[in-house]
Amino acid sequence: MKELIINADDFGLSSGVNRAVVKSWREGILTSASLMVGGDAFHEAVHLAKENPGLQLGLHLTLVQGKAVGEHTGFPRICDRDGNFSNDPVHAGMRYFFIGSFRRQLHAEIEAQILRFRQTGIPLSHIDGHLNIHMHPVVFDILRELMPKHGITTFRLSREDLRENLVIDRSHTLAKMVDAFIFDRLSARCRPALDRLGIGYVTEVKGLLSSGRMTEEYLLKAIDTLGEGAREIYFHPGCLPCAEITKRMPDYRHEEELSALTSPRVRELLRQKGVRLRNYRGEEKRSA
């Protein structure tokens, strides 16, 4: 059986993202979204989610390019005095790995984000991360403790087949090779711990190597070559104008990704290929 989880990241980042997520759910193939609990439009996103209870939500753990939820004092700290994380993912990742005193702060911040999600009263289905920070070795080791504690049973194990991606889109080949290698190694490190804990994940995650460029053309080709098993494809839809997503992701094709998620051609191809749309709970989305 071919199964797809269609996820939208950054829910709660801005009103432009929130509108696109709801449109993709109501009118398109979206099955779930990942909530940024420190985002400027977090409260609006929670309100919209409660108006659309079939839209499953996970936590989009944010430890870079965003704001902290917890209070962090002392020096050094994982965020600046205004609570902002570093905008440079490489710099942040290196600091989190090499500065031992950050482990306590990261533990507190990750748990604070989980608890803030829990306080919404919305069931927390899965966990992933902004720029896939949840796969960082230090971050994952903390999650390995916190996921069972908070009843989190599914996880985005981010890795994508490089050769399949390049058949569809040969742009940015060198960068894709580097990312594919890094996340293959990180996945190999995470997988045994997830198996021991009984935490679920899907066969492959598409969207990692072409992030921000998941257009209708790309999606049609990806569906056409889809193999058996369960996969996730994640997107970054948005409605423009939106100053926040333009500032943070100027090169992302937000509106084209929204069009892909609501495309009649995509829906028809899914039907022809017998692809089952579902969320992390296993609930099937039968119509849009």
What is the pLDDT averaged over residues 23-38?
Answer: 97
Residue 18 domain-assigned (yes or no): yes
Is residue 101 one of the residues assigned to a domain? yes
Run of H or E residues at 216: helix 216-224
Q: How confident is the model at residue 287 (pLDDT cuts 50, 70, 90)?
A: low
- Would residue 114 count as lying in a domain? yes
Alpha-carbon gap, residue 13 to 38, rounded angstroms: 8
Cross-strand bridge partners of residue 275: 2
The tens digit of pLDDT for each residue in 170-221 reads 999 999 999 999 999 999 999 999 999 999 999 999 999 999 999 999 999 9
The answer to whether 269 and 42 have CB atoms below 8 angstroms apart is: no
Q: Is residue 215 part of a domain?
A: yes
**Is residue 284 in a domain?**
no
pLDDT at 240 over 90: yes
- Is 287 contained in some domain? no
Across the range 160-173, mean pLDDT stands at: 94
Taking only the tens place, the pLDDT of each residue in 58-112 is: 999 999 999 999 989 888 999 999 999 999 999 999 999 999 999 999 999 999 9
CATH code of the domain in which 178 resides: 3.20.20.370
Write down the mean pLDDT value for the chain. Answer: 96
Is 288 within the bounds of a domain? no
Give the total residue count for the chain: 288
Helix (H) / strand (E) containing 245: helix 243-248
Rounded distance between C-alpha atoms, residue 275 and residue 288, angstroms: 14
Q: Is residue 282 part of a domain?
A: no
281: pLDDT confidence band, cut at 50, 70 and 90? confident
Query: Positive or negative CA dihedral for 254, 258, 261, 265?
Result: negative
The closest alpha carbon to 223, from 185, 271, 176, belongs to 271
Which pLDDT score, from 0 to 100, does residue 98 have?
A: 96
CB 223 within 8 A of CB 273: yes
Percent of the chain at pLDDT > 70 equals 99
Task: State the residue range of the domain holding 24.
Answer: 2-277
Number of domains in the chain: 1
